Structure formats: C-alpha cells, structure tokens
Structure 1
Amino acid sequence: MRNETRVAFNGFTKQIALLNSISAASEKFTVTPSVQQKLETAIQESSSFLRLINVIGVDEKDGESILLGVGGTVAGRTNTTATARSPRDVSSLNSDTYSCKKTDFDTAIPYALLDSWAKFPDFQTRLSGAIIERQALDRIMIGWNGTSAAATTDRVANPLLQDVNIGWLQKYRTKAPARVMSSGKVAGKVTIGPTGDYKTLDGLVYDAIQLLDPWHRKRPDLVVIVDRNLLHSKFLANIEKAADNENELAAARIIANGTLGGLKIVDAPFFIDGAVMVTTLSNLSIYFQTGARRRMTKDEPERDRIADYQSSNEDYVIEDFGLGALIENIQEAA
C-alpha cells in the first residue's frame, strides 16, 4: 500500500484499539459490549430489510425466544361468585428456541482498493462501511437460505450460504411442518394456472393465510414475502406498458405498492425461488450473543491486502410459528 494509505489504515486500527481499550487491533480481542451494540446497530441500519425485523442481543447462548408472543386471546369474563379469575399466560405456545452458533465474518480488502480510498477524508467510514454492508447482506442470505450449520462450510457447494446456519424457512420446515405446503396434486410442486392447484397467485396467498392461527389471520401487519419471479405473470402487462429503460423502475414501483391476497408485498433480498411466506416482519428475528463478538484487524503484506477477522454467535429465530406460513415449490401449471 502507498504511504498515505498506511497512515490512514494505521489510524483506523488505532481507533479500533482505542474504542475497545486494547493495545493493538492486530491481536484477537473481545469487542466491548458497547462497541458491539454500535456495530450491530450499524449492520442493521445498513440494510432496509434488516431495519424491518428484530436484531436482538441475548446474554445466554441457548434459550427460548424472548419477544412476547400472544398465543391466543385473553379477553373474557368470570363469575367470581363461583370461581376465581384465572389470568391467561400470554407467552406463545408456538415460540421458537435459539442456539447461537459461532459465525465467522472475515473480510479481505486488497491494497489497490485501499489506495483508491486513501485520498478521501472519510477513509475510516468507507472501510467500516464495506465490512458492515457485507455482514448485513450475508445475514439476510442465511436467514432465507440456511438449512444447516456445518463444522466447516463449503462456499462452492453452498453459494447462498446454505450451510452456515439454520434460517427462518428451515425452522418452519423442521419445527412447524403443518404450516408449510410444498406439494399439491402433483408431488413436489404447487401449481398455479387454469389446471393447477390454484387459479391465481392471489388465491394461493388467501389459502396460505388459513395456515396461521385463527387469531392472527386478520392482523393488520401481515405481509407476503414473495419470490419476484412469481410476480412476473401477474404484473407483466403493467410492467410492459413502460418504456424498456423504465421496466425495472416500473417493476419496483408495482411491487412496492402491490398486494397479493389482500396483503402488502415485501420484496426481500435473497428470498428463495418459487416460494411465498405469509407472516409479520416483527415475527422474524436474529439473535446475537452479547459479549461474544471477537475481532482482529491486521495487515497481510504477503497477500497484498488487509484482513478483518470477526466472529459472532448468532441464530435465526421465529418468535411465533402460529404467525406464519410457507408455500414453496410453486410453479405454473402445464
């Protein structure tokens, strides 16, 4: 790296050391709880989707989901001359458990890129932002695509980080299979069209709502998270009315303002192909263990790069399984 880059990078590592009350950031250290919370807030704020869900610090590595889910109704009346009133436990019977697993977020940045940033006064912000943004995107990718937590992950075999942790959809498949539909009249697929399981995508979403607990089915904050490709036939005519160079903008506007089965559409990054999920965004959580983030930032001249090694213990949690449903393997009828 160039000399001015060296000065800027040394300032970056000295700031990390100062914030965490350590002698040098080039040695592995535990991020202080206050700095960890600031990092977590920055990661969440870097993604519009993460800002809509819960990102929560927990003290224990394992435990029960912590947000209060009301597992049923509480209103009623008791003839107290005959019996005492009995308050209903509002903690949901459909709540998830969590087990925070160590996840490495190791980032390498080549000297050439650092040299191009060194002339800017916000060098430290740019470098921090690049590291934070990738962690945010990876968390979303794992949340939708994660199916296992391998001891050693394989990025080539699992390009969508399927083996890094168990995500929200896999939690439904294993812990609430009655709320998952993956087959219709034809095994292994749910079809849409004149001869399919459902005539329209709207009809499929209406039916998916029935998989929720009765007291959740008319909640005003229900949304439908949907694979964008499934919207193609429903909104194709409207999108094609726009000029070619406006198609993408038209698609984004239609999705932002559109509904399916009466529910607002959410276009979530990295959501799986051929699927829809009905839930509330507040039903999706990422838990991280406080005091368990480790970090080391150092120069690696043998690779012409700097490296930022970080790890965090975390898990993907469904707060109330009765507040969601997943329909997958959706295809157009032949």
Structure 2
Amino acid sequence: MRNDTRLVFNAYLKQVALLNTITAATEKFNVTPSIQQKLEAAIKESSDFLKRINVIGVDEQEGEAIGLGVLSTIAGRTNTASNPRTPRDVSNLTKDSYSCKKTDFDTAIPYKLLDAWAKFPEFQAMLSAAITQAQALDRIMIGFNGTSVAANTDRDANPLLEDVNIGWLQKYRLNAPERVMSSGSAPGKITIGATGDYKTLDGLVYDAIQLLDPWHRRRPDLVVLVDRDLLHAKFLANIEGASDNENELAAARIIANATLGGRPIVDAPFFIERGIMITALSNLSIYWQTGARRRHIKDQPEWDRIADFQSSNESYVIEDYGLGALIENIEEADPSAPVDSAGAKS
C-alpha cells in the first residue's frame, strides 16, 4: 500500500470507528443499530431487485413471518342482529417462519485496487460501495439457489452459495410442495413444444397460476421470475434480425416489456436454470436481525490486501405460500416424439 493510500485508508478506519462509537475498527466490534440500518439501506439500494422486495430488520432471531404486503379478502357483511362483526385477521394467512442464520460476508480488497482509488475524493464511498454491492449480489444468489445451512460452507462444491442458507425456492420445495411443478408426463421434467406437456411457456404459466390461492390469482402485482435461457425460443424471432451490437439491447428491451401467461416478466439475477416462479415481489423477504451485525477490518500485509470481516444473522422468507408457485425442470420437447391422445396443453 502506498503512503498516500495509507493516509486515506487510515482516515476511513477512523470514520468507521467514530460512527460506531468504538476506539478502533481494527478490533472486532458490534455495529451500532443506526449504522446497521444505514448499511442495510445501502445494500438494498445497490440492487434494483432488492429494491423491489422486502428487506427488513427483526428483533428476534426466530419467529413467525410478518406477512408484509400480503392480504386476503376482507370484504363481507354480518347481520349484527344475531352475530357480531368479526374482523379478518390477515396475520393468520402466512404459514412461514424464520430463523436468522449467521452469515459471513468477508471481503478482501488488494492494495493495488486501494492504490488506484486513493486519488479520488470519494475514496471512502467507493470502498463502502464495493463491499455493500458484493453483499447485495450474494443475498440474491442465496435467495434463489440456497438449499441448506452448512456449518462449513464449500464454495467449490457450491458455487451458487447453495449451502449458505435456505432460499425462497427451497422454502417452497420443503414447505409447500403442492405449489411446485417439477414433472409432467415423463418423471423429472416438464416439456414444452408440439409434442410436450405444454405447447408454449405461456400455457405452462397460465396453468401454474391455478396453484395460487384463488384470491391471489388475479392480483395486479403478480410477476413471473424466469430463467432467461427459457425465453430464447419465444423471443428469438424478435431479436435475431438485430445486428450483433444491438442484440443485447434488443433482448433487454423485449424482456422488459414481455409477459408470460399474461403476467409481466422479471429478469431476476441468478435465477435457477430451467425454472419459473410466479409470485408478487412483495411476497419475497430477507429478514436481518437488528443488533447482530459484527465487523472487523484487518490489514493483511502478508497477502498485500485489507480484509473486511462482516457477519449478519439473516433469513429468507415467503410471506404467504398461497401467493406463489414454482415450476422447475423445464425442457424443450423432442419434436420427433409421438403426441399422446390428449396432446400438449396450449
């Protein structure tokens, strides 16, 4: 680390210590609640997807889901001559619970990168942004791919952070399997095409909406989270005429305005391959425990880097299982396969 970099980095350490009312950020400390709140807000704001779901602090490490943004029908009428009016308790709709698991977000930043940033007046903001953005992307990846909570995670065996926490999709597999479609006429896959289980992705999504509770099926905020590769055949004709340097822009524009089964598509980062989820984004939550974030910033000259050790207790929550459905193992049908007597669903 250059001398001028050392000066601005030391100023950063002093600022972190000042904000958390501690003597030194180079010793492990408990992040103060107000700074934790600001850090969580920064993590959320760094991702367009996280802005659209619930990211909320909870006091207890374990408890029942809060039911944010989830409502059932409440309209009705009571003959008060014989019965009292009984308000609908919407808090009873949620069936999920949460358990915030300790998650380490440890970031290493090489001296060379710090040296490159040191000349900028916004050095502290750049360093903080790099750390918060990494945490935001990891949270999204865990939410869609997490299947277990390992005592010792293995990044090589689980490159999509599958063993860090139990994510939203796994919650459906474990707790609401009746709302998961994973097989069609052939075990272990759902086929799309003239000879498949469904002729089109639209037909599949339209049918899967019936897995939602009746009062949620026509909600105006229902969206479809989908693996982009599944959209290839559907939108290929719309973009293949564009020149190479226009393809990505054309694809992004088409997806942004497209629908499946009559519902808007959300192009979610790190969504599972060959999968679709139908829900409202307000049904997806990340809970973090207030007062449980720990931090330790350490200079590691033996590695020519600084390390920012952070940990947070958090959980991935489905607010109402009736407001969602998961479809996975989607494949293109073999065009040479015979069509059964019922034929593929449109």
What CA distance in whole angstroms lies between the structure 1 residues aligned with 2:14 and 2:242?
52
For residues 1-334 of structure 1, what are the structure 2 equivalents within 5 Å? Answer: 1-68=1-68, 72-334=72-334
Q: Is the 8 A contact 2:52 2:281 kept in 1?
A: yes
Partner of 2:337: none
Distance 2:313 2:84 in 1: 45
- CA shift, 1:79, in A, is 1.8
| 3-state secondary structure, aligned to 2:5 | helix
Q: Deviations over 1:197-254 (max 9, x none)?
A: 1000000010111000000000000000000000000000001121111001100000
Distance 1:276 1:67 in 2: 23
2:86 partner letter: S
CA contact (8 A) 1:69 1:92 kept: no
Name the SS of the counterpart of 1:331 in structure 2. strand
Q: 1:71 offset after TM fit, Å?
A: 5.9
Q: CA deviation at 1:89?
A: 1.8
Letter paired with 1:50:
L
TM-score calculated relative to the size of structure 1: 0.98
Give the secondary structure class of the aligned counterpart of 2:36.
helix
Work out whether residues 69 and 91 of structure 1, in 8 Å CA contact, stay in contact via their aligned partners in 2: no
Tell me, in whole angstroms, the C-alpha distance in 2 between the residues paired with 1:91 and 1:278.
Answer: 22
Summarize the Cα distance change of 1:235–1:70 in structure 2 as closer, same or farther, 3 Å threshold. closer
Q: Tell me how far 1:70 sits from its aligned partner.
A: 5.1
For the 8 Å contact 1:72–1:92, the answer to whether it is kept is no
Q: Distance in 1 between matches of 2:13 and 2:72?
A: 51
Instruction: Give me the whole-angstrom Cα distance separating, in 2, the residues matched to 1:166 and 1:154.
Output: 15
The letter of the residue matching 2:249 is: L
Determine helix, strand or coil for the equivalent of 1:162. Answer: coil
Letter in 2 for 1:204: L
* Alpha-carbon shift at residue 94 of structure 1 (Å): 3.7
Aligned residue type for 2:278: V
Q: Percent identity?
A: 76
| AA partner of residue 315 (structure 1) | S
Gaps of 5+ in 1: none
In the TM superposition, residue 86 of structure 1 has moved relative to its aligned partner by 2.3
Give the TM-score taking structure 2 as reference length: 0.95
Query: More displaced, 110-119 or 261-270?
Result: 110-119
Separation of aligned partners in 2, 1:275 and 1:255: 16
Distance across 1 between alignment mates of 2:328 and 2:287: 25
SS at match of 1:49: helix
Provide the aligned length of Structure 1 versus Structure 2: 334
SS at match of 1:210: helix
Deviation at 1:83, TM superposition (A): 2.2
> Which amino acid letter does the alignment assign opposite residue 317 of structure 2?
V
Distance 2:284 2:92 in 1: 15
3-state DSSP of counterpart to 1:313: strand
SS at match of 2:48: coil
Distance 2:18 2:72 in 1: 49
d(CA) in 1 for partners of 2:23, 2:158 = 38
| Residue pair 2:68, 2:283 contacting (<8 A) in 1 also | no
Q: Which runs of 5+ in 2 are unaligned?
A: 335-346
CA separation in 1, counterparts of 2:112 and 2:72? 58
Query: Structure 2 vs 1, CA of residues 71 and 92 (structure 1 numbering), >3 Å: closer, same or farther?
Result: farther
SS at match of 1:265: strand
